[in-house]
Amino acid sequence: MEAYLDNAATTQVFDSVKDIMIKTLREDYGNPSSMHSKGMKAEQYIKESKQIIAKNLKVDEKEIIFTSGGTESNNQALIGTAFANKRAGNHIITTRIEHPSVYNPLIYLEDFGFRITYLNVDNKGKIDIEQLKNEITDETILVSVMYVNNEIGAVQEIEQISNIIKEANKNTLFHVDAIQAFGKYLIYPKRLGIDLLSISGHKIHGPKGSGILFVRDKVKVKPILFGGDQQKGLRSGTENVPAIAGLGQAVFEIYNNHEQKINHLYELKQYFIDRMKEIEEVTINGLDDNIKSTAPHIISVSFAGIRSEVLLHALEEKNVYVSAGSACSSNHPSLSGTLIAIGVKKELLDSTIRFSFSVNTTREEIDYAVSALNEIIPLLRKYRRH
């Protein structure tokens, strides 16, 4: 048997996504900028995907920009917005538990004179609201907060954060990395007060190399790619029609019977947590008393006395696939900034595994994974470091 429990890293595409991508690769393969019928057919796929996405976000189609994925969406949002608004100020606020595709663009911006403030979080991964209130000034041009943390599944109070930002400085823009949240929550940026929103296709059973950046109308953003002025000049380059078509189809599928899908995920999460009680010296990180205040698909578990990389490969030998912390930045795990920020004990930082589910995950997979853990862990602990 196989248990793929690494869905926060990537998901298997839906069959309908595969089918539409093959069609655009083999039949409707025209360049969407071409004026002939092949090009117009390709352009139609882009329009249809944009309609699906705009409908699910309750935004205007012209506010949707297609990208190569979450990393590009975050880079475009942060760098493009900072440079476009630098006359208004040089201060940006983010949190201590962001993804590297947020951290690294901000480090880059420091070289251009931007000042970055990092908000602290509590042991559940929630940001310090009072600190946010105190840090916003007339110079604050942008706040960037992750909706769902990719390592522990912490969920931020996005609407509350937006209200605080706009009350403190109505000109401060609000960017949300929704890469782990989209598909799990109904997200309406305009109702929530979000100015820029990043989405990735391969987290919702769409293709890798596909992403979305929502940019609210009249928000000033400079391009970071220059070329043929596609997508209003904000994101030049021939559109990746197969990826865009597949992404639109994935959005349609993931939000079809959405409540049923999310209930399934929470049931799996609770079941997995209950099964973890069978194993000694286990800590579940960032878990709230109410699991529905955390994301439905991510669980971070520390196994005392066992290095995460060793456990990962031992599970792999039994066809159980997980991540050591987060698989998004490197296949060479390092100590997690998120786990440090929420106060995980030092001895557990290198003993943490992330399990993550999808709408395709079954109880049988969880049972198989727990059975493998029950077999592996006593053996590995025999070699515990003292």
Q: Which two tokens stand for residue 31?
A: 């360049």
Residues 6 or more apart whose Cβ sits within 8 Å of residue 331: none
The residues pairing with 197 across neighbouring beta strands, listed in sequence order, are 176, 214
User: pLDDT class for 12, splitting at 50, 70, 90?
Assistant: very high
In the chain, list all ranges with CATH 3.40.640.10: 15-254
Report the alpha-carbon distance of residue 30 to residue 25 in Å, rounded: 9
Angle subtended by helix axes 363-381 and 308-316, to nearest 10: 130
What does the pLDDT look like over 243-295, one tens digit per residue?
999 999 999 999 999 999 999 999 999 999 999 999 999 999 999 889 999 99
Q: Hey, which CATH number is domain 3-11+257-381, 3.40.640.10, 3.90.1150.10, 2.40.50.140, 1.10.3720.10?
A: 3.90.1150.10
User: pLDDT class for 333, splitting at 50, 70, 90?
Assistant: low
Report the alpha-carbon distance of residue 299 to residue 35 in Å, rounded: 49
**Active site amino acids:** 328
What does the pLDDT look like over 32-78, one tens digit per residue?
999 999 999 999 999 999 999 999 999 999 999 999 999 999 999 99
Q: Are 147 and 178 in contact (CB under 8 A)?
A: yes
In the chain, list all ranges with CATH 3.90.1150.10: 3-11+257-381
Report the alpha-carbon distance of residue 203 to residue 180 in Å, rounded: 7
* Rounded average pLDDT over 135-158: 97
- Rounded percentage of the chain residues whose pLDDT exceeds 90: 92
Report the alpha-carbon distance of residue 177 to residue 7 in Å, rounded: 17
Does pLDDT of 305 surpass 70?
yes
Domain 15-254: give its CATH architecture.
3-Layer(aba) Sandwich (3.40)
* Rounded average pLDDT over 99-105: 96
